Amino acid sequence: MADTLALEKIDWHALDQIKFADEEALLEDLLKQTPLSDDLRQATMRRALELVETARARGRDKGMMESFLEEFGLSNAEGLALMCLAEALLRVPDAETRDELIAEKIRSGDWSAHQGQSESWLVNASTWGLMLTGQVIGVPASLKKGPAKFIQGLIRESGEPVIRAAMMQAMRIMGEQFVLGRTVKDAQKRGRRMVKAGDAAHFSFDMLGEGARTAEDAARYLKAYQHAIDGVAAEKDKSTAPEQGNGVSVKMSALHPRYEAVNRARIMDEMYPSVLELCERAAKANINLCLDAEEADRLVLSLQILDRLAREPSLRNWNGLGLAVQAYQKRAGDVIERLKDLAEQTGHRFMVRLVKGAYWDSEIKHAHVEGYPNFPVFTTKAGTDFNYLACARKMLEAKDAIYPQFATHNAHSVAAIEMLAEEIGNSSFEFQRLHGMGEALYGAAGLGRRVRVYAPVGAHKDLLPYLVRRLLENGANTSFVHSFLDPDVPPEQVVADPIVKVEVGPRRHPRIPTPPRLYGAERRNSSGLDLSQRSVRDEMAAAIKSFRDSPAIAAGPIVSGKAVAGGGEMIRVPFDTETVLGSCRDAQDDDIDKALTAATRFQPGWDELGGAERAKHLRAMGDALEENAERLIALMAREAGKTLADGIAEVREAVDFCRYYAMQAEAEFTTLQKLPGPTGETNHISLHGRGVFCCISPWNFPLAIFTGQISAALAAGNTVVAKPAEQTPLIAFEAVKLFQKVGLPGDALHLLPGGGESVGAKLIGDLRVSGVCFTGGTMTARIINKTLADRDGPITPLIAETGGLNSMFVDTTALREQVIDDVIDSAFGSAGQRCSALRIVFLPNETADHLIGGLIGAMDELKIGDPGQPDTDMGPVIDAESRASLQAYVQMMKEEAKVLHQLSPGRIGETGYGFGPALIELSSIDQITEEKFGPILHVLRYDPDDIAEVGAMMRGKGYGLTLGVHSRLESFQREVRDAYPVGNTYVNRSMTGAVVGVQPFGGDGLSGTGPKAGGPHYLHRFATERTLTVNITAQGGDAELLSL
């Protein structure tokens, strides 16, 4: 197989150059090459109108999903409640939680307003099952098949108070409308009846389930796919072409738990043989196999796999290999052109399934969160629909290279494809629809025998998350499906020409800001780096190489803009301690005195400068950090052991701090704020710097917190003396040089590296220091607080952010895959060396074993190693002392608790401070009393009913930093928050990665003093307030009053 990899001749990575293309420019180019002539557009409109009118007249063909969307939609409480129930109910193992979930969601909607309104018997039946007002109906399984008897049965049993049974049955009824069968054999049996009735020609079976999180998951999915292929093969005539029979859709993220672009080499080594085996199995039976489309970050990897498959000798004469292409992706047209080139190179004819796309909302959010330059998808439905037509033409024109499969429920798209196919002269294509949808449209078009049904196969519990995605995809008010059969929506509106919509505009959604503009005009979002792109990975590799090839960095104090470097202690690479990265000279008493004298002298003028002028310096620093991102990320990997992903996030946080505090300085420190008062006088309040602030930052965020503390103090009008952590002075040295480079006066900021007991103690004890900002350990914060309290002179403010015994509470409604993802990320991301990292996860007794097995399997997929490699998940801990402490703790817990699993640190355990993450099960909360700062996660089984008691025990520990909750029950979420109030609570997501201005960060109790960093009140703590009252009548009267 190594030979086939070398044969790749198409540069799939070139697609990354247009991944974030400008949407308006791209649509302008598409308009110049309009896929439909004016005559074809008019004919398309006539045909589309005919389809809508015919389908509405044939209401009996309405599918279950269409009936549901027509009645409930996603714009009311009932529709959302039903979605939440569908997504969670059948996986809940305990009756009590099921009852609670049902009751909560039913209370949130007005079900009686829907009962009997839909034309669908089954939607009405589900509504009956949802009514709670004294008449909850149990649904007899024997009556499912006869709608009339079904309703009669409901009426007969109208007094039966079986809430749980009714709801479970209602969910199963919905499920059976969307699952073709529990097995492929069942699905094919049911499918034959649909083919006989003229409702379908063929099927593509989709094995239900989420993406794999463990090797065991992947093996289970592989077996399911093998079984599906064998089942289809058993009924396929090998002599007929692949498109003339049923097929199987394969989701590659189900075949490997780490199906990500950065893991390409691993995927090709570990997963590719499984994909090849599935394809060979399908080729042997001459059936079709479609590689499903996934998120945009995985597109190039999927295409590389397809490319390799297409060059395999064992698949040479098989034309059943297929791929789904998403029209909402800006690269879709280019993908189709390259597929044509690949087909010509390899002699294949690919089966290409053109879809609109099912991950639109998550793609938008992902681009926002990651700070990408733009979106990989169109933001308007019209843009996607237009691109769909452009892609359809390309596919139909590539007759010899592509067998087109048009998956759509849109009457205009169907009509346009019919017209295009006739014009081009290509009749070798098919339509596709989802099982449970599109019957009315294709029935009206008379195309039932040209339609392949994309049909999920599997258990109900696996179906329902899939169902929710389909509802989200098709249920928005702007969706064609939502309005297709609604008689209140004019047909002309339903089938509006997307080309006209694009021509008229807007060509970008006006209410969806691009990632750089996420925070509006006041503040630009920080720019991220997309590691799924090879060009970005290459740039990072070059930056890291430059450090390896460059002389060691000589750092030291920077006082009044002048660096005093040379000598000092060696700084070694924490994952390769034989390598010296640089050295740093500690600040001496003379350096400290000069810095404090200069800072004290300069501060009044800096404060007088005003917030707007100071903001210019901070914004310039933010821009400089982005311009030097690759170098800073590389340095953090070498000095702090940060992975590339962590380094990217850290640079972004530093940038966000600069811009956020600049915005606040402009708004609150520039002019006087007028206060109300009596006639005849003016009253104003203003904010000013306190004097010299001492900023003491930690090694775990050597750039972000270092820069954040400094920029806050500077923004508020203070000058700064900064003491970085002893382990990471080089990053601090580079950051201060950047401040200088953008024009910050040297006397405004001084760098004083050194030990806490020497440099730190001298700074805190000096009366010239007017305030201290500290992030670090609780014991150190206590020492600082006591030192400040014992000083003579003014009371000095301390802003401290310390650690926490951060917990997550999970209940039985939580989705396993989401819990695993968020626990692994929260506990082991950054090698567990975050203040916000998860330390204890509370798992419900009923599902604990299942979740623990998943966590162990997911841990096994983590890669520990050189943090400068893009596929590394975890680097070393910071130093030998930290590792020794963690090792001793795990050894102790082997005696006192149960160490469920611990990974080997691999090579960096020998060359540096590598430490394998550990999972430890406790029998009591009393077994843990303090934070262990590293990748150690504790598990405790509990009964969610005891949340008040458990929360009280956690409160008793004294910490209050971060808290996680995983539950679909809003009542449980509230109970957890009430039982254990902390600084930052995260629901159904990871617990780390607080974003400046979005999730202001900080705790209470032993976890800090507040206010929260990156929040609206933070700068006030760095400032002093002054009021000014002027009696204007003393100047001859109140002219303003006299003029009334």
Q: Which residues are catalytic?
A: 801, 835
Q: Count of CB atoms within 10 A of residue 891's CB? A: 10
CA distance readout (Å), 1007 to 848, 955, 965, 983:
29, 12, 19, 9
Local structure of 821: helix, strand or coil: helix
Q: Smallest Cα–Cα separation from 335: which of 315, 355, 316?
A: 355
Considering only CA atoms, which of 195, 976, 999 is closest in space to residue 653? 999
Q: Residue 209 and residue 181: Cα distance in Å, rounded?
A: 14
Between CA 1027 and CA 1021 the distance in angstroms is 17
Nearest Cα neighbor of 619 from 671, 669, 663 is 663
Token pair 């006209």 is found at 500
d(Cα 1012, Cα 984) in Å, to the nearest integer? Answer: 10
Amino acid at 571: I
The DSSP line for 642-708 is --HHHHHHHHHHHHHHHHHHHHHHHHHSSSPEEE---TTEEEEEEEEE-SEEEEE--SSSTTHHHHH
Question: With left for phi above 0 and alpha for psi between -120 and 50, is residue 324 left, alpha or beta?
Answer: beta
Render the burial of 163-192: b for 16+ CB within 10 Å, e for the rest: bbbbbbbbbbbbbbbbbbbbbbeebbeebe
Q: Are 576 and 868 in contact (CB under 8 A)?
A: no
Alpha-carbon distance of 532 to 301, in angstroms, equals 9
Please name which of 312, 304, 314, 313 lies closest in space to residue 339, comparing C-alpha atoms. 304
What does each C-alpha distance from 665 to 449, 504, 615, 662 come to in angstroms?
67, 41, 6, 5
CA distance 887 to 748: 43
Euclidean distance between CA atoms 666 and 361, whole angstroms? 34
Which DSSP string do the residues of 128-162 spell out, in sequence order? HHH--SS------GGGTT-HHHHHHHHHHTTT---
Tell which residue, 831, 859, 827, 850, has the closest CA to residue 840: 827
User: Is residue 636 within 8 Å of residue 647, measured between CB atoms?
Assistant: yes
- The three-class DSSP label of residue 1011 is coil
- Amino acid making up residue 316: R
**E-assigned strands of 730-794?**
749-751, 769-775
| Dist. CA 932–CA 882, nearest whole Å | 9
Phi, psi of 938, rounded to the nearest 5 degrees = -100, 140
- Report the distance separating Cα 283 and Cα 784, nearest Å: 71
Distances from the Cα of 232 to the Cαs of 184, 223, 854, in angstroms? Answer: 7, 14, 31
Is 604:691 a contact under the CB 8 Å cutoff?
no
Residue with tokens 């997504």: 87
Q: How far is CA 548 from the centre of its chain?
A: 33
* Per-residue tokens: 972: 């449980």
